[in-house]
Structure 1
């Protein structure tokens, strides 16, 4: 949005020349690239610039304190869970709000079935093959 505003000001003639707008845009792009590069190279800078994923739901229970910190209502959370195919919050093992604003949802395994392994008969084929 900042880039769009800066470029529109340059095109609408609020600056003395197009060069003024280009300088502003190139400065914004350089800062963005520089901070991304710095956060990639330095874990300390990354922790400062990128928020840690926040658990909003754990084992089917809503973390109201985290929702309040992130300013998310229960209705918004329910809507995001429905987008992920969750009908009941009891299905959720953990739901995290990622640093880019997306919601990662991990569901509880149903029926107490063991996790899939490469040793199952279906994966290895018929015996003696």
Structure 2
């Protein structure tokens, strides 16, 4: 568990800390406030996932066994713990949270419009056929 940057209580788990972004912040179980890590941490996580994915495939082929694929989850667990130690949590301010709310609303709006467009398209092609 890691300290919340707002109340200093150990309330944020390793995976939640590593995956916390301004768009999906880690919420403290004690004070309920949001925090996130630097974007560089997320970039490092994505890069490591790519390396471990292809590396585990090559390792499995080299070993001639599916056990080589275990390099992916083991490597991701190790890199998550390492990144949690390297990057501190940043407290989210009102600007970050309001921006997040706007993006979430726009994303849901886009998803609803896309679903409606697909439904209308599906109904029009189904009735024509």
TM-score, length-scaled by structure 2: 0.26
**Structure 1 or 2: more helix by fraction:** 2
Q: Which has the larger radius of gyration?
A: 1
Which structure exhibits the higher relative contact order, with contacts defined as CA atoms closer than 8 Å and separated by 6 or more residues? 2
TM-score, length-scaled by structure 1: 0.26
**Structure 1 or 2: more strand by fraction:** 1
